[in-house]
């Protein structure tokens, strides 16, 4: 028998590693490991992402049960769990899809060695992105650090084979025939169910078609809201790229940003802890705890910033335009280290993804790849004029906005802007 190990690819259809397992072997056992190394770091016991994963695993389990098979779910440290699995199941090979985050790469390296020492083959496939690692580089082999030429090369290299679906269904009779095993509950892992509504897995064709005109306005349903599904692999990137190609080049570009940031993290893992442009590490952040708390709670007195933070706290989602505004406000108006904001997003976003989140934060603070120059500071008033003119979005999340119940601005825009320019300039001139 062989094992398919699910991680951020939580679906049975059009799944690369699962396809290879099923098409090459007749006894495929599916497993998932709730990783204590990750779960122990989560601050909130009702973390919605744990519920999301759990629900998705139950969907997979139900489909497997209909076929007469089973998903085994483990909970613990992966290296210890794998020692047990090797004894319990005695697989001849393990199939999985690659995860490019630094922790995952290190974990997989160790598991691959453990498996090899037991004569078990570890097969890892590309599934999460269209182009991985160094598949798209400059002609001299160096990685791209600017998006436009990267996306041009990406598009010129894209062939039908990169976006063809894996027809897993053809081989569904190759899942191992076995009874359903007992399943660990969320409570047994120390978590509570979160009753939050998760974004739907289906998107209206109209949203993608009209994306170019509507994507920047947080008050309307102008974006796909598929990010949590891309994050956990509940949808296939190949299918969505086919959609983007036929319906909207602008939307396709967003999917390319996702690949772009993934390869940045792969080539420049130092971005996980520090600025991509190291001279930005010299900025002397003010890091006011009170200002940070006001920002987290959506009580800065700036309507669009507060609406965004309240949307994030209530739903685990924030519109991209507003993510840019709140991130710029934190790093530039409040002079708070982008890593604080990055960590808060990591705790709250359902779609949290290290590569895209880090890329977005470093872009906003000016320290990242292809970032706007530091002296371009978003004006929180004109952003409202341009993108939420009739205040639909602000009023939805900050009903008291514009009344005397609303908090006063915690910093003065003009003064904050000047202080930011001075602080950035001092740091960057001195290195
Ligand atoms: C400070 C900051 C932090 C961010 N953190 C994350 C994060 O943790 N996880 C995340 O998936 N995205 C992140 N983004 C990117 C973007 O805001 C979200 O992907 C998008 O808002 C999700 O909404 P949607 O699914 O409706 O996207 P759509 O606009 O419909 O786009 C389709 C898909 O393309 C991808 N995408 C879109 N924009 C970007 C982008 N700028 N960079 C990378 N991928 C993109 C996403 O997978 C998204 O679901 C961040 C952006 C900023 C400015």
For 144-187, what is each residue's pLDDT tens digit?
A: 999 999 999 999 999 999 999 999 999 999 999 999 999 999 99
Encode 263-297: b = buried (16+ Cβ within 10 Å), e = exposed: bbbbbeeebeeebbbeebeebebeeeeebbebbbe
The total of other beta-carbon atoms located within 10 Å of residue 102's CB is 14
Average pLDDT for 392-405:
97
The total of other beta-carbon atoms located within 10 Å of residue 162's CB is 15
Instruction: Kindly state whether residues 134 and 122 are assigned to the same domain.
Output: no
Of 245, 267, 289, which marks where a domain is finished?
Answer: 267
172 within some domain: no
367 within some domain: yes
Evaluate: CB of 5 within 6 angstroms of ligand 1. Answer: no
Query: Which residues constitute the domain of residue 14?
Result: 1-127
Pocket probe mutation, ligand 1, options 252, 260, 356, max atoms within 8 Å of Cβ:
356
* pLDDT attached to residue 370: 84
Instruction: Kindly state whether residues 207 and 327 are assigned to the same domain.
Output: no
- Asked about 397 being catalytic, the answer comes back as no
Atom of ligand 1 nearest to the CA of 323: 53
182 within some domain: no
CA-nearest residue, atom 47 of ligand 1: 227
With CA atoms as reference, report the closest residue to 229 among 360, 112, 351, 146: 351
Evaluate: CB of 254 within 6 angstroms of ligand 1. Answer: yes
CA distance 379 to 386: 11
Distance 356 CA to ligand 1 centre (A): 7
Contacts of 377 (CB under 8 A, 6+ apart): 328, 332, 333, 417, 420, 421
With CA atoms as reference, report the closest residue to 216 among 391, 397, 388, 394: 388
pTM of the model: 0.97
Of 127, 153, 176, which marks where a domain is finished?
Answer: 127
59 within some domain: yes
- CB 6 within 8 Å of CB 29: no
CATH number at residue 215: 1.25.40.80
Instruction: Kindly state whether residues 56 and 143 are assigned to the same domain.
Output: no
The yes-or-no verdict on residue 293 having pLDDT over 80 is yes
CA-nearest residue, atom 46 of ligand 1: 227
Average pLDDT for 175-201:
95
Instruction: Kindly state whether residues 210 and 67 are assigned to the same domain.
Output: no
With CA atoms as reference, report the closest residue to 202 among 229, 221, 232, 222: 229
Average pLDDT for 397-424:
97
Instruction: Kindly state whether residues 311 and 411 are assigned to the same domain.
Output: yes
Three-state SS annotation for 186-207: CHHHCCCCCCCCCCCCCCCHHH
With CA atoms as reference, report the closest residue to 45 among 229, 188, 203: 188
- Asked about 285 being catalytic, the answer comes back as yes
Distances (CA, A) of 426 to 157, 251, 335: 43, 39, 13
Instruction: Kindly state whether residues 141 and 222 are assigned to the same domain.
Output: yes
Of 243, 267, 291, which marks where a domain is finished?
Answer: 267
* pLDDT attached to residue 204: 82
CATH number at residue 72: 3.40.50.620
Instruction: Kindly state whether residues 79 and 158 are assigned to the same domain.
Output: no
- Asked about 5 being catalytic, the answer comes back as no
Residue 217 binned pLDDT confidence (cut-offs 50, 70, 90): very high
* pLDDT attached to residue 354: 98
The residue length of the chain stands at 431
Give the number of domains in the chain.
3
Instruction: Kindly state whether residues 311 and 423 are assigned to the same domain.
Output: yes
Active-site residue, from 82, 154, 251, 257: 257
Instruction: Kindly state whether residues 135 and 222 are assigned to the same domain.
Output: yes
What are the two backbone dihedrals, phi and then psi, of residue 76, each rounded to the nearest 5 degrees? Answer: 160, -160
* pLDDT attached to residue 371: 78
With CA atoms as reference, report the closest residue to 393 among 202, 214, 213, 201: 214
CA-nearest residue, atom 36 of ligand 1: 254
For 32-90, how does the pLDDT look when each residue is reduced to its tens digit (9 = 90+)?
999 999 999 999 999 999 999 999 999 999 999 999 999 999 999 999 999 999 999 99
300 within some domain: yes
For 238-291, how does the pLDDT look when each residue is reduced to its tens digit (9 = 90+)?
999 999 999 999 999 999 999 999 999 999 999 999 999 999 999 999 999 999
Average pLDDT for 127-145:
97
190 within some domain: no
181 within some domain: no
Active-site residue, from 5, 154, 338, 340: 338
What are the two backbone dihedrals, phi and then psi, of residue 137, each rounded to the nearest 5 degrees? Answer: -130, 170
Instruction: Kindly state whether residues 255 and 316 are assigned to the same domain.
Output: no
Instruction: Kindly state whether residues 320 and 249 are assigned to the same domain.
Output: no
**What's the whole-number average pLDDT of the chain?**
97
CA distance 26 to 167: 16
178 within some domain: no
Average pLDDT for 226-234:
98
Instruction: Kindly state whether residues 309 and 422 are assigned to the same domain.
Output: yes
């Amino acid at each position: 028998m062989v094992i398919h190990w699910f991680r951020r690819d939580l679906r049975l259809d059009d799944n690369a590693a699962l396809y290879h397992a099923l098409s090459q072997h007749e006894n495929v056992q599916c497993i998932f490991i709730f990783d204590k190394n990750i779960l122990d770091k989560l601050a909130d016991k009702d973390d919605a992402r744990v519920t999301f994963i759990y629900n998705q695993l139950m969907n997979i389990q139900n489909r497997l049960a209909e076929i007469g098979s089973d998903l085994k779910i483990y909970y613990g440290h992966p290296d210890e769990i794998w020692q047990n699995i090797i004894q319990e199941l005695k697989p001849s090979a393990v199939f999985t899809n690659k995860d490019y985050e630094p922790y995952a790469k290190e974990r997989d390296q160790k598991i691959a060695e453990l498996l090899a020492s037991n004569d078990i083959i570890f097969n890892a496939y590309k599934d999460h992105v269209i182009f991985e690692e160094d598949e798209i580089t400059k002609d001299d082999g160096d990685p791209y650090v600017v998006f436009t030429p990267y996306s041009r090369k990406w598009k010129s290299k894209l062939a039908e084979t990169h976006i063809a679906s894996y027809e897993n269904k053809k081989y569904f009779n190759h899942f191992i025939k076995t009874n359903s095993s007992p399943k660990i509950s969320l409570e047994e892992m120390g978590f509570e169910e979160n009753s939050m509504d998760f974004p739907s897995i289906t998107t209206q064709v109209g949203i993608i078609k009209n994306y170019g005109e509507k994507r920047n306005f947080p008050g309307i349903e102008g974006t796909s809201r598929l990010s949590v599904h891309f994050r956990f692999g509940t949808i296939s990137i190949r299918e969505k790229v086919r959609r983007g190609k036929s319906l909207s080049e602008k939307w396709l570009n967003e999917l390319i940003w996702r690949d772009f940031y993934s390869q940045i993290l792969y080539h420049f893992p130092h971005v996980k802890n520090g600025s991509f442009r190291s001279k930005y590490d010299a900025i002397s952040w003010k890091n006011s705890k009170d200002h940070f708390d006001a920002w987290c709670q959506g009580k800065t007195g700036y309507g669009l910033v507060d609406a965004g933070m309240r949307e994030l706290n209530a739903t685990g989602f924030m519109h991209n335009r507003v993510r840019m505004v709140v991130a710029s406000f934190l790093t530039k108006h409040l002079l708070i280290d982008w890593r604080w904001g990055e960590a808060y997003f990591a705790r709250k976003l359902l779609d949290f993804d290290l590569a895209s989140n880090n890329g977005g934060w470093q872009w906003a603070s000016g320290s990242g790849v292809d970032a706007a120059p530091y002296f371009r500071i978003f004006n929180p008033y004109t952003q409202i004029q341009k993108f939420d003119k009739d205040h639909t979005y602000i009023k939805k999340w900050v009903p008291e906005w514009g009344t005397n119940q609303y908090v006063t601005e915690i910093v003065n825009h003009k003064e904050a802007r000047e202080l930011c320019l001075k602080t950035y300039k001092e740091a960057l001139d001195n290195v």
